[in-house]
Amino acid sequence: MKTSLPNENNSIVDFISLKKLQECIVSDKKSHCLWLNTLSFLEYVGCRKIVKSQRAENIRLETLLHIQEESRHALFFKKLIPKIDPDIDLSFGLNDFLGGSTGERYLQDIDQFVYTKFFNSDPNSSFLVYNWVTWFIEYRACILYKSLEEATESLPLKPYSLKSLLNEEEHHMAESIQLLKKLDPKFDKHMELGLKHEADFFVPFIQEVQNDLNKSKFIKNTKDSNTNTKRISI
Ligand SMILES: [Fe+2]
Ligand SMILES: [Fe+2]
């Protein structure tokens, strides 16, 4: 049986590795569009999760604003796709993503982890779960989007800026942390536990994105020539 240390693959999701991966993604029009579509879908799932997870009595003005902004982020990424390739038509079907279903899996896994490990599956914990899940997902989104922002600088013409979107994500993080510090008596313990495990859930997604890129390079290269393909390994 293969035994592995829990964090041995986590270096593939650090800032530098994610920037390198995304430089590779944005260097190819089709991959770039698939990636923007994947990010749009994940923003949409994030928005849908907030709506579905919160009881009406927990919906505050800030929650409504959060729902609206996550929906706008989904729209933002979707609207970038025709700027990269006006002829491409992508749906929210699994074949139009990089990483297939593993991106959505990441969001569900974080949610499940917080619900079970932090709050022992207590149904009354939904507001705290929502705020913790928000914080960990935004924490990851900020690393991913900041590294994407830098990756697009490798293109001859920088096609878009993620600056205002990043400002909003950082604002969501700040709001959640403020509430959690006030409402969660186990704040320090939960923060430590979440930070220790968050990357473990993100790694399978990035591994699957790498696999998809390797497959598409392989298909392209065997079509164009018989030379060996160069595997993406970060
Ligand atoms: Fe977002
Ligand atoms: Fe957000």
pLDDT average per 10 residues of sequence, the chain (234 residues): 54 95 97 98 97 89 95 98 97 97 98 98 95 97 98 94 96 96 98 97 98 82 48 51
* CA 232 to ligand 1 center in whole angstroms: 28
The answer to whether residues 194 and 136 touch, using CB atoms and an 8 Å cutoff, is yes
* CA 193 to ligand 2 center in whole angstroms: 21
* CA 194 to ligand 2 center in whole angstroms: 18
Q: What is the pLDDT of residue 58?
A: 81
Q: What is the pLDDT of residue 184?
A: 98
Radius of gyration of the chain (CA): 19
* CA 141 to ligand 2 center in whole angstroms: 8
Angstrom distance (rounded) from CA 197 to CA 138: 15
Q: In 3-state terms, what secondary structure has residue 85?
A: coil
Alpha-carbon distance values, 145 to 71, 73, 195 (Å)? 16, 12, 18
| Ion ligand 2 residue ranges (Cβ < 5 Å) | 169, 172
The answer to whether residues 43 and 74 touch, using CB atoms and an 8 Å cutoff, is yes
| Segment 69-120, tens digit of pLDDT | 999 999 999 999 999 999 999 999 999 999 999 999 999 999 999 999 999 9
* CA 177 to ligand 1 center in whole angstroms: 16
The answer to pTM > 0.95 is no
Q: Where are the domains of the chain?
A: 10-206
